[in-house]
Amino acid sequence: MIELNEHWCKGCRVCVFHCPTKSLRIASRFTMRGIHPPELVEAERCNGCRLCELLCPDFAITVMEAVSVNA
């Protein structure tokens, strides 16, 4: 699971280009700043490598571990 701070993201697409599992894509919607932000395509594809978080020049992405709830 990724969390994106849309106020910090400038839409540089570094995260999308370097995602090894192709879990990210550029959204068709615009943010308040007028950019197309990255979005997670399918959460199952993401392997949690944190490459997007590490390469983001604006620190706009945070990778969080999925929380499993056992009933």
Which pLDDT score, from 0 to 100, does residue 56 have? 97
The 10s digit of each residue's pLDDT in 2-26 is 999 999 999 999 999 999 999 999 9
Distance CA 27, CA 6 (A): 12
pTM for this one?
0.82
Q: What is the 3-state secondary structure (H, E, C) of the chain?
A: CEEECCCCCCCCCHHHHHCCCCCEEECCCCCCCCCCCEEECCCCCCCCCCHHHHHCCCCCEEECCCCCCCC
Closest CA to 10 of 25, 28, 31, 24: 31
